[in-house]
Copies of this chain bind each other. A is one copy, B any other.
């Protein structure tokens, strides 16, 4: 049995060992660059931890795991271009280091490389179908996210559906593919899919929370970025729902004000979140996700040590502990 730490190392080694065609350099160099930026390798590790619940040879599915990580990194590459983001994991994004056309075409080639690899690596047809459907759903999630930028009336259920598509389904896909490839029943594979939705939801809601209430050192990004960008986060939508008419007008005024000191805007909105009890709502939402995730895991009749390792990895992600 592998620990999640083992698997992170194995995934990183497998990614570092990928060989790309030498030419045209302008097409393949940005792909290697995007994958070399690091990251927590959440999706491939979940895939292998899930496979390990049912199979003694989880490492046999490393090529599929690398493909799912490559897919995730293709989405980051194109999302960063669409969001006009300058930095990813402390390094310039592909469209900043090269240019927009390079980001478009290299991202496209990366996506094609994913399908080519998945087709070879995944012989289980049901697992392949999960990926084919999920890839499109992730696109739908990004589209909803972009649609929300110009709207102030996004409901919490619309938000949850957006993050299910943008973040949840790919984690679920990784878990379900791992299960199916490892020999799980359709029912157990579906339980792991449902588990992934809860993990993905908690992970995204936590990301929204840490963007405001996190510690810059551990979060790794500037605090308050979502507020400045007017992103429709769990906190903002919940606050707009709970605010009095006066508070809501104040919020909208601050959010639409582009002339104020950014820190003043962050401070005002953060204070309002606290006044409205949003941190407690966050805790409640997270607890609901944990409870649902635990209840799902309890239904799986699999070796206890492998199940504990899966749970340990999820716990690490959820609390961002070491």
Contacts and interface: CB of A to CB of B under 8 A. Distances in A.
Interface size for chain A: under 10, 10 to 19, 20 to 34, or 35 or more residues?
Answer: 20 to 34
Q: Is the interface of A mostly helix, strand, loop or mixed?
A: helix
Contacts of A107: 108
Interface in A165-181: none
A136 interface: yes
Interface stretch (A55-63, A112-120, A200-208, A222-230): A112-120
A67 to B, nearest CB: 13
B113 A119 contact: no
A185 interface: no
Interface string A66-90: 0000000000001001100000000
Given A81-B104, A105-B78, A105-B146, A136 B113 contact: yes
Contacts of A136: 109, 112-113, 116
Contact of A139 (B105, B132, B133, B146): B105
Most chain B CB inside 10 Å of its own CB: which residue of A107, A140, A143: A143
A236 interface: no
A119 B101 CA distance: 28
Interface string A128-160: 100011011001101110110000000000000
A24 interface: yes
A112 to B, nearest CB: 5
A26 interface: yes
Interface string A10-26: 00000000000101101
Given A81-B104, A82-B105, A143 B112 contact: no
